Amino acid sequence: MSYAERDLASARVLVEAGELANALFHCQQAIEKTLKAVILERTGEEPPRIHNLMRLAQLAPAELSEDQMMLMRELGVSYIESRYPDASLAEQSQPTAESARSYLARTEELIQWLLSRTS
């Protein structure tokens, strides 16, 4: 979880600095690392080395709301676009400051929700 917390802190700083696409990358990473921590805690086994948030949520397991699933899907696309610019999964667009703040807030809520369901 310390890695997830660092990514979340980075996302906060990047939103304030106007580095919005990079902030979304760190939001995705914070959720990914939280899910992997939940998998490790619940199963005692190392989580798979994958980046697919939906698949990790299935392995956690986490019963997500439609809004939570949508957040993970959107951040997943943003993650792929940020790391593989040729992927063209969706039309690349820069997030606005407002949308980046919304993604950050929703990421923080999801992480807290996931952690509240462990142990």
Which stretches of the chain score pLDDT less than 70? 79-93, 119
User: Tens digit of pLDDT for each residue in 50-71?
Assistant: 999 999 999 998 899 999 999 9
Buried b / exposed e along 72-92 (16+ C-beta atoms within 10 A): bebbbbbbbbbeeeeeeeeee
Report DSSP letters for 41-90, one per residue.
HHHSSPPPS---HHHHHHHTT----HHHHHHHHHHHHHHHHHH-GGG-SS
**Which class in CATH covers the domain with range 2-116?**
mainly alpha
pLDDT value at residue 117:
84
Domain ranges of the chain: 2-116
State pTM to two decimals: 0.89
